[in-house]
Structure 1
Amino acid sequence: MSPAAPPGVEHYLYYRVPDAAATGLRLALLAEQAALCAAHPGLEARLLERVDPAAGQRTWMEIYRRPGAGVEEALAAAIEARMAAHCAAAGVGGRHLEAFRALPPCA
């Protein structure tokens, strides 16, 4: 990315997953993230987890970034369509999206 290029938007999606659904859903989401990265050059995707053993669930966060171009509207829609379908099939809802733009570094 050139210094003059504006930083792109990064997407952070978080939601709760019951422990019983975690293993199967994790495998499906990681496979889908790999397919999305292959289909959209430069896209970087991660899946993070926070476990709350007392609650019997975990909080997951999907992170998507693409240096330079960012996660534009069409890509965001493709991500949500594919990932939300797996979550819905596993009985997981309540996906919350936060979008952030990196600030330019100090001169």
Structure 2
Amino acid sequence: MDLYIYYRVAEAQAAALLPQVQVMQAALGTRHGVQCALKRRPDAKEGLQTWMEVYGGCAPAFEAELAQAVLAAGLAAHIDGARHTEVFVDIAPCA
């Protein structure tokens, strides 16, 4: 399965948040063998950027590990509102 987590970040918080997310993703990628990416929308709205963390090839238990990593990294201090998680799975090919 793949996880897509999006949230808003005040432009004033972006520089502080970026290295925290990068360090967290590097550790998660190494520890769990998942493919990590960090993206954002090109434009801000009302001083807020929308960021997206992507985790590819996750086991179902990874969501709990991610939640713990987010707490440990203190990301909530730099995020405006909640983190929203979407889960996607591969479609089995037709026989």
TM-score range, shorter chain: 0.7 to 0.9
How many angstroms does 1:92 deviate by? 3.4
Residues 23/36 of structure 1: CA separation in 2 closer, same or farther (3 Å cut): same
1:91 Cα deviation (Å)? 4.6
Deviant stretches of 4+, over 6 Å: none
Equivalent residues in 2 for 1:1-80 (5 A)?
Answer: 9-41=1-33, 43-66=34-57, 70-72=58-60, 74-80=61-67
CA RMSD in angstroms comes to 1.8
Whichever structure has more helix as a proportion of its residues is 2
- Residue pair 2:20, 2:75 contacting (<8 A) in 1 also: no
Task: State how many pairs are aligned.
Answer: 94
Look up the SS of the partner of 2:68 in the other structure: helix
C-alpha displacement of 1:40: 1.1
Q: Within 1, Cα distance between the matches of 2:7 and 2:93? A: 31
Give me the whole-angstrom Cα distance separating, in 2, the residues matched to 1:91 and 1:62: 13
- Identity across the alignment (%): 37
User: 1:51, 1:76 → 2: CA distance?
Assistant: 27
Unpaired runs of 5+ residues, structure 1, are 1-8
When Rg is computed on C-alpha atoms for both structures, the one with the higher figure is 1
| TM-score, structure 1 normalization | 0.76
